Structure 1
Protein backbone atom coordinates (compact mmCIF):
# COMPACT_ATOMS: atom_id res chain seq x y z
CA UNK A 1 0.00 0.00 0.00
CA UNK A 2 1.45 3.36 -1.07
CA UNK A 3 0.53 6.44 0.97
CA UNK A 4 1.31 10.04 -0.04
CA UNK A 5 1.45 12.53 2.84
CA UNK A 6 1.10 16.28 2.40
CA UNK A 7 2.79 18.19 5.20
CA UNK A 8 1.80 21.63 6.41
CA UNK A 9 0.50 23.36 3.28
CA UNK A 10 0.36 26.99 4.47
CA UNK A 11 -1.50 27.93 1.31
CA UNK A 12 0.82 26.02 -1.04
CA UNK A 13 -1.69 23.81 -2.78
CA UNK A 14 -2.90 24.33 -6.32
CA UNK A 15 -3.97 22.52 -9.49
CA UNK A 16 -0.42 21.22 -10.00
CA UNK A 17 -0.62 19.25 -6.74
CA UNK A 18 -3.95 17.72 -7.72
CA UNK A 19 -2.65 16.76 -11.17
CA UNK A 20 0.56 15.35 -9.67
CA UNK A 21 -1.31 13.17 -7.19
CA UNK A 22 -3.52 11.77 -9.90
CA UNK A 23 -0.41 10.91 -11.94
CA UNK A 24 1.29 9.26 -8.97
CA UNK A 25 -1.95 7.45 -8.05
CA UNK A 26 -1.11 6.55 -4.43
CA UNK A 27 -3.49 4.17 -2.67
CA UNK A 28 -4.26 6.84 -0.06
CA UNK A 29 -3.50 10.50 0.70
CA UNK A 30 -3.04 11.91 4.21
CA UNK A 31 -2.97 15.64 5.02
CA UNK A 32 -1.61 16.82 8.39
CA UNK A 33 -3.25 20.26 8.53
CA UNK A 34 -2.33 23.95 8.47
CA UNK A 35 -3.97 24.16 5.08
CA UNK A 36 -3.95 27.95 5.22
CA UNK A 37 -4.90 30.71 7.64
CA UNK A 38 -8.58 29.86 7.70
CA UNK A 39 -9.32 30.17 3.99
CA UNK A 40 -11.72 27.65 2.46
CA UNK A 41 -10.07 27.19 -0.96
CA UNK A 42 -7.81 24.27 -0.04
CA UNK A 43 -10.43 22.39 1.99
CA UNK A 44 -12.76 22.61 -1.01
CA UNK A 45 -10.01 21.36 -3.34
CA UNK A 46 -9.21 18.38 -1.09
CA UNK A 47 -12.90 17.49 -0.96
CA UNK A 48 -12.91 17.21 -4.77
CA UNK A 49 -9.81 15.01 -4.94
CA UNK A 50 -10.72 11.66 -6.46
CA UNK A 51 -8.42 9.60 -4.23
CA UNK A 52 -8.98 8.02 -0.79
CA UNK A 53 -8.10 10.84 1.59
CA UNK A 54 -8.00 11.63 5.32
CA UNK A 55 -7.21 15.06 6.74
CA UNK A 56 -6.83 16.72 10.11
CA UNK A 57 -6.85 20.49 10.62
CA UNK A 58 -4.08 22.38 12.40
CA UNK A 59 -3.76 25.41 14.62
CA UNK A 60 -3.50 27.84 11.68
CA UNK A 61 -6.74 26.61 10.14
CA UNK A 62 -8.89 28.58 12.58
CA UNK A 63 -7.46 31.81 11.19
CA UNK A 64 -8.11 34.57 13.68
CA UNK A 65 -11.65 33.40 14.38
CA UNK A 66 -11.96 32.27 18.00
CA UNK A 67 -15.67 31.50 17.51
CA UNK A 68 -14.93 28.28 15.62
CA UNK A 69 -17.09 29.26 12.63
CA UNK A 70 -14.11 29.37 10.28
CA UNK A 71 -12.93 25.97 11.47
CA UNK A 72 -16.45 24.54 11.20
CA UNK A 73 -16.83 25.69 7.60
CA UNK A 74 -13.67 23.86 6.52
CA UNK A 75 -14.78 20.73 8.36
CA UNK A 76 -18.12 20.91 6.58
CA UNK A 77 -16.33 21.20 3.23
CA UNK A 78 -14.10 18.22 3.99
CA UNK A 79 -17.01 16.14 5.27
CA UNK A 80 -16.04 12.61 6.31
CA UNK A 81 -12.48 13.26 5.09
CA UNK A 82 -11.80 15.22 8.28
CA UNK A 83 -10.95 12.69 10.99
CA UNK A 84 -10.14 14.79 14.05
CA UNK A 85 -11.00 12.65 17.11
CA UNK A 86 -12.58 10.16 14.71
CA UNK A 87 -12.07 7.02 12.65
CA UNK A 88 -11.79 7.16 8.86
CA UNK A 89 -11.68 3.73 7.22
CA UNK A 90 -10.46 3.93 3.64
CA UNK A 91 -11.92 1.09 1.57
CA UNK A 92 -10.11 0.74 -0.77
CA UNK A 93 -7.23 0.43 -0.07
CA UNK A 94 -7.99 -1.10 3.34
CA UNK A 95 -6.56 1.38 5.84
CA UNK A 96 -7.83 2.62 9.21
CA UNK A 97 -6.91 6.26 9.89
CA UNK A 98 -7.64 7.78 13.29
CA UNK A 99 -7.27 11.50 13.84
CA UNK A 100 -5.77 12.98 16.98
CA UNK A 101 -6.81 16.32 18.49
CA UNK A 102 -7.65 18.86 15.77
CA UNK A 103 -6.24 22.37 15.92
CA UNK A 104 -3.29 21.43 18.09
CA UNK A 105 -0.39 23.86 18.50
CA UNK A 106 1.69 21.40 20.54
CA UNK A 107 3.14 22.24 23.93
CA UNK A 108 1.59 19.44 26.00
CA UNK A 109 -2.14 20.02 26.05
CA UNK A 110 -4.08 23.15 25.26
CA UNK A 111 -7.46 23.64 23.59
CA UNK A 112 -7.69 26.71 21.42
CA UNK A 113 -10.79 28.89 21.76
CA UNK A 114 -11.98 27.79 18.31
CA UNK A 115 -11.62 24.07 19.13
CA UNK A 116 -13.35 24.48 22.49
CA UNK A 117 -16.16 26.42 20.82
CA UNK A 118 -16.83 23.44 18.52
CA UNK A 119 -16.19 20.48 20.80
CA UNK A 120 -16.54 21.89 24.30
CA UNK A 121 -14.05 21.83 27.17
CA UNK A 122 -12.12 18.64 27.90
CA UNK A 123 -9.06 17.37 29.69
CA UNK A 124 -6.00 15.67 28.22
CA UNK A 125 -7.40 12.38 29.47
CA UNK A 126 -10.75 13.07 27.74
CA UNK A 127 -8.96 13.80 24.48
CA UNK A 128 -6.78 10.69 24.78
CA UNK A 129 -9.87 8.58 25.38
CA UNK A 130 -11.57 9.97 22.26
CA UNK A 131 -8.57 8.99 20.16
CA UNK A 132 -8.35 5.58 21.82
CA UNK A 133 -12.05 4.82 21.38
CA UNK A 134 -11.89 5.71 17.69
CA UNK A 135 -8.88 3.43 17.20
CA UNK A 136 -10.48 0.50 19.01
CA UNK A 137 -13.57 0.85 16.79
CA UNK A 138 -11.45 0.20 13.68
CA UNK A 139 -11.53 -3.11 11.89
CA UNK A 140 -8.69 -5.10 13.53
CA UNK A 141 -7.82 -6.61 10.15
CA UNK A 142 -6.83 -3.16 8.80
CA UNK A 143 -3.47 -1.52 9.47
CA UNK A 144 -3.85 1.52 11.73
CA UNK A 145 -2.32 4.95 11.12
CA UNK A 146 -2.71 7.80 13.61
CA UNK A 147 -2.93 11.18 11.88
CA UNK A 148 -2.11 14.27 13.94
CA UNK A 149 -1.19 17.87 13.40
CA UNK A 150 1.33 17.97 16.24
CA UNK A 151 3.23 14.81 17.14
CA UNK A 152 3.23 13.13 20.56
CA UNK A 153 5.33 14.01 23.58
CA UNK A 154 8.20 11.66 24.32
CA UNK A 155 10.20 11.88 21.09
CA UNK A 156 13.01 14.01 22.55
CA UNK A 157 13.59 17.39 24.16
CA UNK A 158 16.32 18.82 21.93
CA UNK A 159 15.50 21.47 19.32
CA UNK A 160 16.29 19.08 16.46
CA UNK A 161 14.02 16.29 17.75
CA UNK A 162 10.77 15.56 15.87
CA UNK A 163 8.70 17.74 18.22
CA UNK A 164 11.46 19.81 19.83
CA UNK A 165 10.89 23.52 20.48
CA UNK A 166 13.34 25.50 18.34
CA UNK A 167 12.04 29.07 18.34
CA UNK A 168 13.17 30.10 21.84
CA UNK A 169 15.43 28.70 24.55
CA UNK A 170 15.45 26.48 26.35
CA UNK A 171 14.71 23.71 23.90
CA UNK A 172 12.08 21.29 25.20
CA UNK A 173 9.67 18.57 24.16
CA UNK A 174 6.74 20.35 22.50
CA UNK A 175 4.70 17.24 21.66
CA UNK A 176 1.10 16.49 22.62
CA UNK A 177 0.61 14.63 25.90
CA UNK A 178 -2.90 13.40 25.03
CA UNK A 179 -1.59 11.71 21.89
CA UNK A 180 1.13 9.97 23.90
CA UNK A 181 -1.51 8.67 26.34
CA UNK A 182 -3.66 7.45 23.47
CA UNK A 183 -0.80 5.57 21.80
CA UNK A 184 0.00 3.79 25.07
CA UNK A 185 -3.64 2.77 25.53
CA UNK A 186 -4.19 1.65 21.95
CA UNK A 187 -1.07 -0.53 21.96
CA UNK A 188 -2.51 -2.59 24.82
CA UNK A 189 -5.05 -3.88 22.29
CA UNK A 190 -3.49 -3.63 18.83
CA UNK A 191 -0.30 -2.53 17.05
CA UNK A 192 0.25 1.08 15.99
CA UNK A 193 2.66 0.80 13.05
CA UNK A 194 2.69 4.49 12.08
CA UNK A 195 1.99 7.96 13.51
CA UNK A 196 2.03 10.81 10.95
CA UNK A 197 2.13 14.50 11.88
CA UNK A 198 3.56 17.90 10.99
CA UNK A 199 3.48 21.32 12.74
CA UNK A 200 7.20 21.40 13.67
CA UNK A 201 8.90 22.45 10.44
CA UNK A 202 11.93 20.52 9.22
CA UNK A 203 14.12 23.63 8.89
CA UNK A 204 15.08 24.83 12.37
CA UNK A 205 14.78 28.49 13.27
CA UNK A 206 17.72 30.84 12.72
CA UNK A 207 19.43 28.52 10.25
CA UNK A 208 20.40 25.89 12.81
CA UNK A 209 20.02 22.96 10.46
CA UNK A 210 17.30 20.37 9.96
CA UNK A 211 14.99 18.60 12.33
CA UNK A 212 15.07 14.83 12.74
CA UNK A 213 11.86 13.85 10.97
CA UNK A 214 11.66 10.09 11.54
CA UNK A 215 12.09 7.72 14.48
CA UNK A 216 10.99 4.20 15.45
CA UNK A 217 10.44 3.47 19.14
CA UNK A 218 11.11 0.26 21.08
CA UNK A 219 7.57 -0.97 20.45
CA UNK A 220 8.04 -0.73 16.70
CA UNK A 221 5.87 2.34 16.15
CA UNK A 222 7.26 4.68 13.49
CA UNK A 223 6.80 8.46 13.81
CA UNK A 224 6.96 10.58 10.66
CA UNK A 225 7.06 14.38 10.70
CA UNK A 226 6.07 15.48 7.18
CA UNK A 227 6.29 19.28 7.69
CA UNK A 228 8.68 20.24 4.88
CA UNK A 229 7.91 23.97 4.65
CA UNK A 230 7.70 25.49 2.12
CA UNK A 231 6.58 22.40 0.22
CA UNK A 232 6.66 24.23 -3.12
CA UNK A 233 10.14 25.18 -4.28
CA UNK A 234 12.65 25.41 -7.10
CA UNK A 235 15.95 23.54 -7.39
CA UNK A 236 19.30 24.95 -8.56
CA UNK A 237 18.43 24.11 -12.15
CA UNK A 238 15.23 26.13 -11.99
CA UNK A 239 12.93 23.10 -11.90
CA UNK A 240 9.73 23.37 -9.89
CA UNK A 241 9.50 21.06 -6.87
CA UNK A 242 6.54 19.62 -4.96
CA UNK A 243 7.13 17.79 -1.68
CA UNK A 244 5.28 14.72 -0.42
CA UNK A 245 6.32 12.25 2.23
CA UNK A 246 5.86 8.71 0.96
CA UNK A 247 5.14 5.55 2.93
CA UNK A 248 4.76 1.93 1.84
CA UNK A 249 2.97 -0.61 4.04
CA UNK A 250 3.15 -4.35 3.37
CA UNK A 251 0.92 -6.72 5.35
CA UNK A 252 0.26 -3.97 7.88
CA UNK A 253 3.96 -3.29 8.51
CA UNK A 254 6.00 -0.28 7.53
CA UNK A 255 8.18 -1.32 4.61
CA UNK A 256 9.60 1.99 3.40
CA UNK A 257 9.39 5.72 4.18
CA UNK A 258 10.95 8.71 2.48
CA UNK A 259 10.66 12.39 1.70
CA UNK A 260 10.20 13.00 -2.01
CA UNK A 261 10.43 16.06 -4.22
CA UNK A 262 8.64 15.74 -7.54
CA UNK A 263 8.47 17.87 -10.64
CA UNK A 264 4.79 18.81 -11.17
CA UNK A 265 4.89 16.69 -14.33
CA UNK A 266 5.40 13.57 -12.21
CA UNK A 267 9.17 13.02 -12.37
CA UNK A 268 10.79 12.09 -9.03
CA UNK A 269 13.74 14.49 -8.78
CA UNK A 270 15.00 13.90 -5.23
CA UNK A 271 14.37 11.36 -2.49
CA UNK A 272 15.55 11.21 1.12
CA UNK A 273 15.20 7.61 2.29
CA UNK A 274 14.20 7.44 5.97
CA UNK A 275 13.83 3.70 6.45
CA UNK A 276 13.68 0.54 4.38
CA UNK A 277 12.87 -2.66 6.20
CA UNK A 278 13.07 -6.19 4.78
CA UNK A 279 9.91 -8.08 4.03
CA UNK A 280 9.01 -10.84 6.48
CA UNK A 281 10.17 -14.22 5.20
CA UNK A 282 7.52 -16.98 5.51
CA UNK A 283 8.54 -19.88 7.73
Structure 2
Protein backbone atom coordinates (compact mmCIF):
# COMPACT_ATOMS: atom_id res chain seq x y z
CA UNK A 1 0.00 0.00 0.00
CA UNK A 2 3.06 2.29 -0.01
CA UNK A 3 2.14 4.00 -3.33
CA UNK A 4 -1.28 5.01 -1.97
CA UNK A 5 0.18 6.89 0.99
CA UNK A 6 1.84 9.60 -1.06
CA UNK A 7 5.02 9.43 1.02
CA UNK A 8 8.26 10.75 -0.48
CA UNK A 9 10.32 8.01 1.21
CA UNK A 10 10.00 5.03 3.53
CA UNK A 11 12.26 4.19 6.48
CA UNK A 12 12.37 0.73 8.06
CA UNK A 13 13.58 0.47 11.68
CA UNK A 14 14.34 -3.26 11.63
CA UNK A 15 13.00 -6.54 13.00
CA UNK A 16 11.45 -7.17 9.61
CA UNK A 17 11.22 -10.89 10.36
CA UNK A 18 13.19 -13.65 12.04
CA UNK A 19 15.56 -13.96 9.12
CA UNK A 20 12.84 -14.60 6.51
CA UNK A 21 13.95 -13.11 3.19
CA UNK A 22 10.51 -12.62 1.69
CA UNK A 23 9.82 -9.19 3.21
CA UNK A 24 13.34 -8.05 2.36
CA UNK A 25 12.73 -8.99 -1.27
CA UNK A 26 9.47 -7.04 -1.25
CA UNK A 27 11.26 -3.96 0.09
CA UNK A 28 13.71 -4.11 -2.81
CA UNK A 29 10.75 -3.93 -5.20
CA UNK A 30 9.49 -0.60 -3.85
CA UNK A 31 9.85 2.26 -6.33
CA UNK A 32 10.06 5.10 -3.78
CA UNK A 33 13.29 5.94 -1.92
CA UNK A 34 13.91 3.49 0.92
CA UNK A 35 16.34 3.29 3.85
CA UNK A 36 16.63 0.27 6.13
CA UNK A 37 18.39 -0.59 9.37
CA UNK A 38 18.16 -4.26 10.31
CA UNK A 39 17.27 -5.30 13.86
CA UNK A 40 18.45 -7.94 16.30
CA UNK A 41 15.75 -10.39 15.19
CA UNK A 42 16.63 -10.14 11.51
CA UNK A 43 19.51 -12.60 11.81
CA UNK A 44 17.06 -15.29 12.96
CA UNK A 45 18.77 -18.08 14.91
CA UNK A 46 21.83 -18.03 12.67
CA UNK A 47 24.93 -16.93 14.58
CA UNK A 48 27.28 -17.41 11.64
CA UNK A 49 26.22 -14.19 9.91
CA UNK A 50 25.23 -16.00 6.71
CA UNK A 51 21.52 -15.16 6.98
CA UNK A 52 22.35 -11.55 7.89
CA UNK A 53 24.69 -11.28 4.91
CA UNK A 54 21.98 -12.59 2.58
CA UNK A 55 19.70 -9.75 3.63
CA UNK A 56 22.44 -7.17 3.30
CA UNK A 57 23.25 -8.40 -0.18
CA UNK A 58 19.61 -8.15 -1.23
CA UNK A 59 19.19 -4.66 0.24
CA UNK A 60 22.43 -3.23 -1.15
CA UNK A 61 22.81 0.46 -0.35
CA UNK A 62 19.24 0.60 0.95
CA UNK A 63 20.71 -0.70 4.20
CA UNK A 64 22.52 2.26 5.74
CA UNK A 65 24.30 0.91 8.85
CA UNK A 66 27.14 3.30 9.77
CA UNK A 67 26.60 5.05 6.43
CA UNK A 68 24.77 7.88 4.70
CA UNK A 69 21.75 7.22 2.51
CA UNK A 70 20.90 10.44 0.70
CA UNK A 71 18.34 11.59 -1.84
CA UNK A 72 18.04 14.84 -3.78
CA UNK A 73 14.29 14.53 -4.32
CA UNK A 74 13.35 14.97 -1.58
CA UNK A 75 16.64 16.34 -0.27
CA UNK A 76 17.31 14.44 2.95
CA UNK A 77 20.25 12.71 4.58
CA UNK A 78 19.56 9.44 6.41
CA UNK A 79 22.41 8.35 8.69
CA UNK A 80 22.32 4.74 9.84
CA UNK A 81 23.33 3.75 13.37
CA UNK A 82 24.70 0.38 14.51
CA UNK A 83 22.96 -2.55 12.82
CA UNK A 84 21.04 -5.29 14.65
CA UNK A 85 21.17 -3.62 18.05
CA UNK A 86 19.41 -5.37 20.92
CA UNK A 87 19.71 -2.31 23.18
CA UNK A 88 21.13 -2.43 26.68
CA UNK A 89 24.22 -0.30 26.18
CA UNK A 90 26.57 -1.82 23.63
CA UNK A 91 26.84 -5.38 22.38
CA UNK A 92 27.68 -7.01 19.05
CA UNK A 93 26.09 -10.37 18.37
CA UNK A 94 28.18 -13.16 16.86
CA UNK A 95 26.36 -12.69 13.55
CA UNK A 96 27.17 -8.97 13.42
CA UNK A 97 30.81 -9.60 14.31
CA UNK A 98 31.03 -12.24 11.59
CA UNK A 99 29.85 -9.72 8.98
CA UNK A 100 31.27 -6.41 10.25
CA UNK A 101 34.17 -7.45 12.46
CA UNK A 102 34.82 -6.56 16.13
CA UNK A 103 33.61 -2.94 16.08
CA UNK A 104 34.07 -1.13 19.40
CA UNK A 105 31.65 1.30 21.03
CA UNK A 106 34.00 4.18 20.23
CA UNK A 107 34.39 3.07 16.61
CA UNK A 108 30.64 2.73 16.19
CA UNK A 109 30.06 6.28 17.44
CA UNK A 110 32.82 7.60 15.19
CA UNK A 111 31.30 5.99 12.09
CA UNK A 112 27.89 7.53 12.80
CA UNK A 113 29.41 10.98 13.27
CA UNK A 114 31.47 10.72 10.09
CA UNK A 115 28.40 9.79 8.06
CA UNK A 116 26.47 12.72 9.55
CA UNK A 117 29.24 15.16 8.59
CA UNK A 118 28.51 14.41 4.93
CA UNK A 119 24.92 15.74 5.10
CA UNK A 120 24.61 19.26 3.61
CA UNK A 121 23.62 21.89 6.16
CA UNK A 122 20.41 22.77 4.32
CA UNK A 123 19.18 19.16 4.21
CA UNK A 124 17.21 17.47 6.99
CA UNK A 125 19.53 15.25 9.03
CA UNK A 126 17.76 12.07 10.11
CA UNK A 127 19.38 9.31 12.16
CA UNK A 128 17.88 5.86 11.61
CA UNK A 129 18.46 3.29 14.35
CA UNK A 130 17.01 0.00 15.50
CA UNK A 131 17.19 0.87 19.20
CA UNK A 132 17.22 4.47 20.38
CA UNK A 133 19.98 6.11 22.44
CA UNK A 134 20.53 6.15 26.18
CA UNK A 135 19.43 9.31 27.92
CA UNK A 136 15.70 9.24 27.12
CA UNK A 137 14.61 8.01 30.54
CA UNK A 138 14.89 4.98 32.81
CA UNK A 139 11.23 4.23 33.49
CA UNK A 140 9.55 1.20 31.92
CA UNK A 141 7.44 3.60 29.86
CA UNK A 142 10.41 5.67 28.62
CA UNK A 143 11.09 5.57 24.87
CA UNK A 144 13.88 3.01 25.47
CA UNK A 145 12.93 1.81 28.95
CA UNK A 146 13.22 -1.86 29.88
CA UNK A 147 9.70 -3.14 30.61
CA UNK A 148 10.17 -6.92 30.67
CA UNK A 149 12.32 -7.17 33.83
CA UNK A 150 12.57 -5.25 37.07
CA UNK A 151 14.02 -2.89 37.93
CA UNK A 152 13.16 -0.78 34.89
CA UNK A 153 16.31 0.81 33.45
CA UNK A 154 17.43 2.81 30.43
CA UNK A 155 17.90 0.18 27.69
CA UNK A 156 19.15 2.54 24.97
CA UNK A 157 22.37 2.37 22.96
CA UNK A 158 25.41 4.13 24.45
CA UNK A 159 27.26 4.44 21.14
CA UNK A 160 24.31 6.21 19.55
CA UNK A 161 24.00 8.62 22.48
CA UNK A 162 27.73 9.35 22.22
CA UNK A 163 27.47 9.96 18.49
CA UNK A 164 24.48 12.30 18.83
CA UNK A 165 26.30 14.35 21.47
CA UNK A 166 29.42 14.65 19.31
CA UNK A 167 27.35 15.59 16.26
CA UNK A 168 26.22 18.73 18.09
CA UNK A 169 29.73 20.15 17.75
CA UNK A 170 29.02 20.60 14.03
CA UNK A 171 25.28 20.17 13.67
CA UNK A 172 22.69 18.37 15.76
CA UNK A 173 20.38 15.74 14.29
CA UNK A 174 16.95 17.04 13.35
CA UNK A 175 15.22 13.71 13.89
CA UNK A 176 16.12 10.30 15.36
CA UNK A 177 13.83 7.42 14.32
CA UNK A 178 14.05 3.99 15.95
CA UNK A 179 12.07 0.92 16.98
CA UNK A 180 12.90 -2.22 19.01
CA UNK A 181 11.03 -1.16 22.18
CA UNK A 182 7.37 -2.03 21.61
CA UNK A 183 4.66 0.55 22.24
CA UNK A 184 2.58 -1.84 24.38
CA UNK A 185 4.43 -2.51 27.64
CA UNK A 186 4.78 -6.00 29.01
CA UNK A 187 2.54 -7.28 31.78
CA UNK A 188 -0.24 -4.78 31.24
CA UNK A 189 1.91 -1.82 32.33
CA UNK A 190 0.31 0.47 29.77
CA UNK A 191 1.75 2.35 26.82
CA UNK A 192 5.26 3.54 26.08
CA UNK A 193 6.14 7.20 25.60
CA UNK A 194 6.99 7.29 21.91
CA UNK A 195 8.09 10.91 21.41
CA UNK A 196 10.74 13.11 23.00
CA UNK A 197 12.28 16.47 22.19
CA UNK A 198 15.60 17.31 23.84
CA UNK A 199 16.87 20.73 24.88
CA UNK A 200 18.87 21.11 21.68
CA UNK A 201 15.72 20.65 19.59
CA UNK A 202 16.33 17.13 18.26
CA UNK A 203 13.16 15.07 17.96
CA UNK A 204 13.10 11.37 18.85
CA UNK A 205 10.32 9.03 17.77
CA UNK A 206 9.84 5.35 18.54
CA UNK A 207 8.04 3.68 15.62
CA UNK A 208 7.77 0.15 17.08
CA UNK A 209 4.02 -0.39 16.99
CA UNK A 210 3.74 -4.19 17.34
CA UNK A 211 1.84 -5.71 15.69
CA UNK A 212 1.84 -3.17 12.87
CA UNK A 213 -1.50 -4.41 11.59
CA UNK A 214 -4.80 -4.72 13.39
CA UNK A 215 -8.56 -4.28 13.09
CA UNK A 216 -10.79 -1.29 13.72
CA UNK A 217 -14.10 -1.50 15.61
CA UNK A 218 -15.89 -2.75 12.51
CA UNK A 219 -13.31 -5.44 11.81
CA UNK A 220 -11.64 -3.64 8.92
CA UNK A 221 -7.83 -4.04 8.66
CA UNK A 222 -5.58 -1.15 9.71
CA UNK A 223 -1.87 -0.62 9.04
CA UNK A 224 0.37 1.50 11.27
CA UNK A 225 2.94 4.00 9.96
CA UNK A 226 4.87 6.70 11.78
CA UNK A 227 4.56 9.85 9.66
CA UNK A 228 6.98 12.80 9.56
CA UNK A 229 6.80 16.00 7.51
CA UNK A 230 9.58 18.56 7.03
CA UNK A 231 9.78 22.17 5.94
CA UNK A 232 13.41 22.68 5.08
CA UNK A 233 15.33 21.11 7.95
CA UNK A 234 12.50 21.56 10.45
CA UNK A 235 10.21 18.60 11.29
CA UNK A 236 6.77 20.22 11.21
CA UNK A 237 4.65 17.14 11.93
CA UNK A 238 5.29 13.82 13.66
CA UNK A 239 2.40 11.42 14.15
CA UNK A 240 1.36 7.79 14.39
CA UNK A 241 -1.12 6.95 11.67
CA UNK A 242 -3.38 3.99 10.98
CA UNK A 243 -4.40 3.47 7.36
CA UNK A 244 -6.98 1.27 5.71
CA UNK A 245 -5.72 -1.07 2.95
CA UNK A 246 -6.93 1.35 0.28
CA UNK A 247 -4.60 4.01 1.69
CA UNK A 248 -7.15 6.28 3.36
CA UNK A 249 -6.31 7.55 6.83
CA UNK A 250 -8.45 6.06 9.61
CA UNK A 251 -6.83 7.58 12.69
CA UNK A 252 -3.92 9.86 13.60
CA UNK A 253 -2.17 10.46 16.92
CA UNK A 254 -0.26 13.73 16.62
CA UNK A 255 3.00 13.69 18.58
CA UNK A 256 4.48 16.98 17.41
CA UNK A 257 3.35 19.90 15.30
CA UNK A 258 5.61 22.90 14.72
CA UNK A 259 4.52 25.83 16.80
CA UNK A 260 2.39 23.72 19.13
CA UNK A 261 3.72 23.17 22.65
CA UNK A 262 3.26 20.09 24.78
CA UNK A 263 3.55 17.25 22.28
CA UNK A 264 2.79 13.76 23.60
The two structures share one fold, judged by TM-score above 0.5: yes
CA drift of 1:266 comes to 1.1
Runs of 4+ in 1 over 3 A off after TM superposition: none
Match of 2:257?
Answer: 276
Match status 1:78 vs 2:59:
yes
Match of 2:14?
Answer: 33
Match of 2:148?
Answer: 167
Compute the TM-score of the two structures, normalised by the length of structure 2.
0.97
Match status 1:246 vs 2:231:
no
Match of 1:261?
Answer: 242
Following the alignment from structure 1 to structure 2, what is the Cα–Cα distance between the partners of residues 92 and 274?
Answer: 26
Following the alignment from structure 1 to structure 2, what is the Cα–Cα distance between the partners of residues 224 and 151?
Answer: 9
Following the alignment from structure 2 to structure 1, what is the Cα–Cα distance between the partners of residues 113 and 46?
Answer: 29
Match of 1:123?
Answer: 104
* Bigger relative CO (Cα 8 Å, ≥ 6 apart): 1
Following the alignment from structure 1 to structure 2, what is the Cα–Cα distance between the partners of residues 54 and 140?
Answer: 20
| SS, match of residue 249 in structure 1 | strand
Question: For residues 157-236 of structure 1, what are the structure 2 equivalents within 5 Å?
Answer: 157-236=138-217
| SS, match of residue 230 in structure 2 | strand
Conserved 8 A contact 2:122-2:232: no
The equivalent position to 1:94 in structure 2, one of 75, 83, 90, is 75
CA drift of 1:118 comes to 0.7
Following the alignment from structure 2 to structure 1, what is the Cα–Cα distance between the partners of residues 121 and 59?
Answer: 26
Unaligned segments of structure 2, at least 5 residues = none
CA drift of 1:207 comes to 1.2
Conserved 8 A contact 1:246-1:257: yes
CA deviation digits over 1:91-124, x for unaligned, max 9?
A: 2111100000001000000001110111111211
CA deviation digits over 1:170-208, x for unaligned, max 9?
A: 000000000000001111101311000000000000111
CA drift of 1:254 comes to 1.0
Unaligned segments of structure 1, at least 5 residues = 1-19
Following the alignment from structure 1 to structure 2, what is the Cα–Cα distance between the partners of residues 145 and 228?
Answer: 20
Following the alignment from structure 1 to structure 2, what is the Cα–Cα distance between the partners of residues 88 and 70?
Answer: 23
The Cα RMSD (Å) is: 1.0
Match status 1:109 vs 2:58:
no
Following the alignment from structure 1 to structure 2, what is the Cα–Cα distance between the partners of residues 127 and 195?
Answer: 16
CA drift of 1:25 comes to 1.9
Following the alignment from structure 1 to structure 2, what is the Cα–Cα distance between the partners of residues 60 and 107?
Answer: 15
Following the alignment from structure 1 to structure 2, what is the Cα–Cα distance between the partners of residues 160 and 102?
Answer: 24
| SS, match of residue 254 in structure 2 | strand
Aligned length: 260
Conserved 8 A contact 2:212-2:223: yes
